[in-house]
Amino acid sequence: MNAFSDMSRAELLKAVEMFAKSWLAHDGCWFLAAEERFGLETAIDLDTRSWARFAAAEARRIMSTFDIPAGGGLEALERALGLRMYAAINRQHAEWSDDRTRLLFYMDGCRVQDTRRRKGLPDFPCKTVGEVEFATFARAVDERIRTICLHCPPEAPEGRYCGWEFFLDDGDSRSAQGAE
């Protein structure tokens, strides 16, 4: 018998939130164990490698589950970003440039950084991991998408979290300048 079959919509949403929190807690526990054993630099390297694999797998799974077409451009990416595990537990939003050639994505809340701040710890320096994670996720949705980090802790503006810019590489080297 499947315990989820008889759950109400509210109970299922509560389960999704619980699973997302558990997923993030596991990620944090794994990272701390790696840091304790190998030091911060090696832990970040391992974390980056892990996120490169996971982000691609997560994007493919989201696309398959929710019929998001591969090569669907920035519109497909916007939809996929809203379906990541993060979306269940972190406040986030996307904005379009006036000409709709660039998608801006912001984490408005981050459980990882909020937990560290609550414990009096410095922000986790997540930029290097985030650059790989978000670029890999975006390219799994559409290989033409390029990613620029707008800001990321600890260099994020006061009270802010990460911000990302996505655009389609049109083959013009000037538009891809500064992008991954």
Distance of CA 19 to the CA centre of its chain: 16
Cα–Cα distance measured from residue 43 to residue 166, given in angstroms and rounded to the nearest whole number: 27
The pTM assigned to this predicted structure is 0.90
Task: Please answer whether residues 159 and 95 qualify as being in contact, where contact means their C-beta atoms are separated by less than 8 angstroms.
Answer: no
* pLDDT tens-place string over residues 16-33: 999 999 999 999 999 999
Confidence class for position 79, pLDDT limits 50, 70, 90: very high
Is 97's pLDDT higher than 80?
Answer: yes
Q: Which two tokens stand for residue 29?
A: 């526990």
Residues 109-148 as b/e (b if ≥16 CB within 10 A, e otherwise) read ebbbbeebeeeeeebbebbebbbbbbbbbbbbbbeebbbb
Task: Please answer whether residues 71 and 144 qualify as being in contact, where contact means their C-beta atoms are separated by less than 8 angstroms.
Answer: yes
Q: Does domain 9-168 have CATH number 3.30.1380?
A: yes
Task: Please answer whether residues 145 and 165 qualify as being in contact, where contact means their C-beta atoms are separated by less than 8 angstroms.
Answer: no
* pLDDT tens-place string over residues 120-147: 888 889 999 999 999 999 999 999 999 9
Residue from 104, 109, 89, 87 nearest 159 by CA: 109
* pLDDT tens-place string over residues 31-56: 999 999 999 999 999 999 999 999 99
Residue from 83, 81, 156 nearest 116 by CA: 156
- Give the pLDDT of residue 132: 97
